[in-house]
Amino acid sequence: MYQPIKTVLHRSWISVVRKPRRSAMLMLIITLVLTSLVSQAGVIAAIECVQENINNNIGLGFNVYSKSNSDSNVNKSEVADLEAVGSDSSNSDSSNSSETNKVSSSVNNSQFGISLEKAKMFSSIKGVKTSSYESETLAYARGMKLVTVSSGLRLDNDKLKSYEGVIGTTSSKLASGFQEGLYNLEAGKHIDSQSSHSAIVHKAFADKNNLQIGSEITLNQGNRNVKVSVVGIFSGKTQTKGIMPYDISENKIFTDIETAFTLSSTRSINSVRCVMSSDDLLHNALIEARKISKGKFDVEDNSSRFSAVLQSVKSVKSMVTMIFVILGLVGILILILVLVFFVRSRVHEIGVFVALGIHKVSIAAQMIFEIIIISLVSACLSLVFGAFSSRSIGHVMLSSISDSSISSLHIPILPFSQTVFALLLGFIMAILALLLALIPLFVSKPRSVLSSMS
């Protein structure tokens, strides 16, 4: 005799409530299995987030940098414009003069760059998904105050304090600082190849000069002026290589590359950044890039700084997966054994149901519903324990990585889809374990079940 589903559910609930010790023991084991599955889903999601961030956001590829011995032409008029800065005071001391020469040299060196034709050759290498060009120069930000830096250097010539570092780029997402994750765009949008007269400024510089999205800045170099509009504000800091105000992150302005070309009156490029569509193509791309360079430019494999991280991530992923798989298998084996005793301890109950004419399918359905009820409570507990364990393991894993662009990542603790899949898998495992324990009941005849009661 088959029974209505409502009756089976009611009997399942009564059985769970009236046997708290048995239910608690099953709940503990199922919670262990579900927690291992949920934790594994959370940790693997964290690891995949790290891998995706390295491959997509940071962009594994190569960079090409210009050398001072490049075949690009030097803009003599620009050197004269900058050297005029130090000539307006006959009382300037030798250190001040040397800094002026350093500034002139800095801008002058930006002219020894990569031609657009060469840059396009690097961008057209097989496997390059996207690329960006950068042209660096210096300029005055008219009417703007630079963020001060305590370098210990005393500058008598105020004009030396007003230089702004200008980085023209075709894609600020790939620019130095942004590509490594050291800079973060707080407001506005990035600069791309379609941008014109656009600028991204540091938050500290914007706060000091009351700048916001849409504000205009006039950049000046010699007799060349370019008015740009602020389209983005960024934060963050990179290691300062120099001691001048324009060397620090707060005094750098990212502009569209045409603005930098206009200011420097040359169309040479300082660096080309190429992102590969696949890691497998990087090796051949580097060989091709070095052939194009012919020793005139520096070709850098930017994946080298993340190779150790990627290897560590893969090792951790394999280790964590193995640990949680072992825990899950052990939990399932224990669950099967416990459910076998669970079924055998209820032989009298099953015999009574059979004597009353209740079909074995209805009896099995009652026990399945009991497991589902217990599993629902275990699922809630496993979410708590799983979130805690995956958070702890994820933080330990990321904190062991020295690179700030990776260790500072925000990782979802329990991704929805993976967590739901893990819970469903746990439920299926528990039900399958019960069905295995019920096999003797299904293959036995009713008379055998009744005779086993004695």
Task: Kindly write down the DSSP assignment for every residue of 188-223, as one continuous string.
Answer: E----TT--SEEEEEHHHHHHTT--TT-EEEEEETT
Report the range out of 75-89, 158-172, 219-233 with the highest average pLDDT: 219-233
**What are the beta bridge partners of residue 134?**
169, 271
Residues 7-33 have a mean pLDDT of 87
Q: pLDDT at residue 371 above 70?
A: yes
Residue 92's pLDDT band (boundaries 50, 70, 90)? very low
> Residue 72 above 70 pLDDT?
no
* Confidence band of 411 (pLDDT split at 50, 70, 90): low
| Structural domain count, the chain | 2
Q: Of all helices (H) and strands (E), which one includes residue 185?
A: strand 183-188
Residue 29: domain span = 5-54+309-451
Within 1-93, where are the H helices? 5-18, 20-52, 76-83
Domain boundary among 268, 302, 336: 302
Q: Is residue 326 classed exposed, middle or buried when 0-12, 13-18 and 19+ CB atoms within 10 A define those classes?
A: exposed
With contact defined as beta carbons under 8 Å apart, do 111 and 75 qualify? yes
Contact 300, 65 (CB under 8 A): yes
- The answer to whether the CB of 219 falls within 8 A of the CB of 253 is yes
Among 234, 267, 302, which residue terminates a domain? 302
For position 75, what pLDDT does the model report? 43
Q: What angle do CA 60, 238, 59 make, to 5 degrees?
A: 10
- Residue 340 sits at the vertex; the CA angle it makes with 339 and 343, to the nearest 5 degrees, is 80
Q: Could you read off the pLDDT of 151-187 as tens digits, one per residue?
A: 555 555 555 567 888 999 999 988 888 877 788 899 9
Cα 302 from Cα 275, distance rounded (Å): 9
258 and 337 together in one domain? no
Q: CA-CA distance, 68 to 295, in Å (whole number)?
A: 12
Give the model's pLDDT for residue 190.
93
pLDDT reported for residue 333: 85
End-to-end CA distance of the chain: 24
- CA nearest to 428, candidates 387, 368, 385, 344: 368
Statement to judge: residues 99 and 24 lie in one domain: no
Comparing CA positions, the residue from 418, 432, 421, 424 lying closest to residue 332 is 432
For the cut 90, the answer to whether the pLDDT of residue 255 exceeds it is: yes
pLDDT bracket for residue 419 (50, 70, 90)? confident
38 pLDDT higher than 80: yes
Close Cβ partners of 222 (under 8 Å, ≥ 6 residues apart):
77, 78, 81, 82, 265
Q: Which secondary structure element, helix H or strand E, spans residue 169, and what is its range?
A: strand 163-169
Same domain, yes or no: 350 and 447? yes
**How far is the C-alpha of 180 from the C-alpha of 405, rounded, in Å?**
6
Same domain for 289 and 314: no
Q: What is the pTM of this model?
A: 0.56
Are 268 and 338 in a shared domain?
no
Is 42 found in the same domain as 71? no
Give the best-scoring range by mean pLDDT among 2-6, 61-65, 326-330.
Answer: 61-65
pLDDT given at position 228:
94
Residue 152 falls in which region: left (phi positive, over 0), alpha (psi -120 to 50) or beta = left
69-102 burial string, b = 16+ CB within 10 Å, else e?
ebebeebeebbebbbebbeeeeebeeebeebbee
Considering the domain architecture, whether residues 355 and 242 belong to the same structural domain is answered as: no
Region of poorest pLDDT, from 116-120, 153-157, 286-290, 443-447: 153-157
- Say whether both 110 and 242 belong to one domain: yes
Range with the lowest mean pLDDT among 61-70, 160-169, 187-196, 327-336? 61-70
Residue 68 predicted with pLDDT over 50 = yes
Q: Are 159 and 38 part of one and the same domain? A: no
- Residue 246 contacts residue 202 (beta carbons within 8 Å): no
User: Is the pLDDT score of 351 beyond 90?
Assistant: no
Q: Is the separation of the CB atoms in 281 and 60 below 8 Å?
A: no
Distance of CA 254 to the CA centre of its chain: 23
In this structure, of 154-163, 208-217, 244-253, 320-329, the range with the lowest mean pLDDT score is 154-163
Q: How far is CA 356 from the centre of its chain?
A: 62
Neighbours of 393 (CB within 10 A): 20
Whether residues 180 and 288 fall in one domain: yes
> How confident is residue 6, by pLDDT bands cut at 50, 70 and 90?
confident
- Specify the pLDDT at position 90: 36
Most confident of 154-163, 173-182, 204-213, 354-363: 204-213
Q: Give me the pLDDT at residue 199, please.
A: 95
Per-residue pLDDT, 133: 94
Closest CA to 36 of 429, 434, 435: 429
Residues of the chain with pLDDT > 90, as a percent, come to 24
User: How does pLDDT run across 126-143, given as a tens digit for each residue?
Assistant: 989 889 999 999 998 888
Domain boundary among 277, 302, 327: 302
Band of the pLDDT at 330, cuts 50, 70, 90?
Answer: confident
Query: DSSP state, 73?
Result: P
What's the pLDDT at 268?
86
pLDDT of 398 > 90? The answer is no
Helices (H) and strands (E) in the chain, counts: 14, 10
Q: pLDDT band at 83, cuts 50/70/90?
A: very low
One domain, residues 313 and 178? no
Confidence bin at 217 (pLDDT 50/70/90): very high
In this structure, are 329 and 362 located in the same domain? yes
Within 10 angstroms of residue 196's Cβ, the number of other Cβ atoms is 11
Average pLDDT across the chain, whole number:
78
